[in-house]
C-alpha cells in the first residue's frame, strides 16, 4: 500500500459561489454538481486529513444587487441573499453527511432550528474534531459580499490559504476574459496590489484588501476541474496565486 501523500496545507477556507451549484441550468441546485463538489471536500478531509471550512454564496437562488436593481431596498435584498446561502449550505451539509463526513452549518444570522449561530472558537473546535464547517448567511450584514465573508472567516479561523473556486472552466486569473479574448493568457502569480490596481474582478476589493492586510494568500482555481482541489492541497501549481 502506498504511503499517504502529505498535504501542503493543514487548514483551508474554500469559497464556493452559488452559481457553481446551479451547473448548466443556471438556477437552483444541480444535485450532480453539488455531489461532485462534495466528493472533493470529502477526499480533502478523509484522505488527506485537511481541516476544511466552506463559505457558500447564494447567486444561484438570489442576488442582492439584482434585487436592488429591480427596486427592492438594497439592505432587504441582501438579507434575502443571505437566506439563499443558508439553503445552499443545508443542501451541501446533507450531501456531505450522506458521504460520511460530519458537517456543521454556522449562520451569521441566528436560526437555531436549522443551523448553529456563528462562533469562531466553536468553528475551530469542530474542524479539530474532523468536521467540515460551512459558514452561511454572509457576515450577517447587508452591503458585504460572500467574498468578503470568505476573507473574514479565513483570517478568523487561522486558515493557511483561501481557495476561491471558480466555475465555467476558467482555471485562474487571465489578462482578459478568456471566453471573449482568444489572446488572453493565464497569470500564475499576482500581488494583492496587482489585483486592486488592475481592477481584476476575481473577488471584490474589500475582500482583497482584507487578505492583504492579514497576509492571507488566495488561490483562484477551477473548482469543477477533476482533481484540482486535491492537487493544490498537495502543493501542486493549480490556478493563480495571489499573495
Domains, the chain:
11-242 (3.40.1160.10)
> What pLDDT, in 10s, does the model give residues 166-182?
877 788 998 888 888 88
Entry pTM = 0.94
- pLDDT on residue 67: 82
Q: Distance between CA 70 and CA 77 in Å, rounded?
A: 10
Q: Is the pLDDT of residue 27 over 90?
A: no
- pLDDT on residue 37: 96
Cβ contacts of residue 28 below 8 Å, gap of 6+?
Answer: 22, 60, 61
Q: Is the pLDDT of residue 99 over 80?
A: yes
Scanning the structure block, which residue is given the C-alpha cell 443551523? 115
> What pLDDT, in 10s, does the model give residues 177-206?
888 888 888 999 999 999 999 888 889 999
pLDDT-based confidence at 148, cuts 50/70/90?
very high
- pLDDT on residue 1: 38
> What pLDDT, in 10s, does the model give residues 125-138?
999 999 999 999 99
- Computed over every residue of the chain, the mean pLDDT equals 93
- pLDDT on residue 4: 62
- pLDDT on residue 2: 43
- pLDDT on residue 23: 84
Q: Is the pLDDT of residue 5 over 80?
A: no
Average pLDDT score over residue span 67-73 = 87
What is the percent of the chain with per-residue pLDDT over 90, rounded to a whole number?
77
- pLDDT on residue 3: 55
Which of 20-29, 145-154, 199-208 has the highest mean predicted lDDT (pLDDT)? Answer: 145-154
Amino acid at each position: 500500500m502506498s504511503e499517504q501523500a502529505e498535504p501542503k496545507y493543514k487548514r483551508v477556507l474554500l469559497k464556493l459561489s452559488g452559481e457553481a451549484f446551479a451547473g448548466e441550468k443556471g438556477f437552483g441546485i444541480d444535485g450532480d454538481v453539488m455531489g461532485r463538489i462534495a466528493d472533493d471536500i470529502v477526499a480533502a478531509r478523509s484522505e488527506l486529513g485537511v481541516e476544511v471550512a466552506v463559505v457558500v454564496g447564494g447567486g444561484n437562488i438570489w442576488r442582492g444587487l439584482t434585487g436592488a436593481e429591480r427596486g427592492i431596498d438594497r439592505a432587504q435584498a441582501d438579507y434575502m441573499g443571505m437566506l439563499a446561502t443558508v439553503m445552499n449550505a443545508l443542501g451541501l451539509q446533507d450531501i456531505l453527511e450522506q458521504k460520511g463526513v460530519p458537517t456543521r452549518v454556522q449562520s451569521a444570522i441566528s436560526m437555531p432550528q436549522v443551523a448553529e449561530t456563528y462562533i469562531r472558537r466553536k468553528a475551530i473546535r469542530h474542524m479539530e474534531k474532523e468536521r467540515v464547517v460551512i459558514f452561511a448567511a454572509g457576515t450577517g450584514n447587508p452591503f458585504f459580499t460572500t467574498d468578503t465573508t470568505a476573507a473574514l472567516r479565513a483570517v478568523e479561523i487561522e486558515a493557511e490559504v483561501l481557495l476561491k473556486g471558480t466555475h465555467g472552466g476558467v482555471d485562474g486569473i487571465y489578462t482578459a476574459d478568456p471566453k471573449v479574448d482568444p489572446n488572453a493568457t493565464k497569470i500564475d502569480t499576482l500581488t494583492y496590489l496587482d489585483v486592486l490596481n488592475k481592477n481584476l474582478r476575481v473577488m471584490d476589493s474589500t475582500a482583497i484588501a482584507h487578505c492583504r492586510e492579514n497576509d492571507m494568500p488566495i488561490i483562484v482555481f477551477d473548482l469543477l476541474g477533476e482533481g484540482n482541489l486535491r492537487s493544490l492541497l498537495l502543493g501542486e501549481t493549480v490556478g493563480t496565486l495571489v499573495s
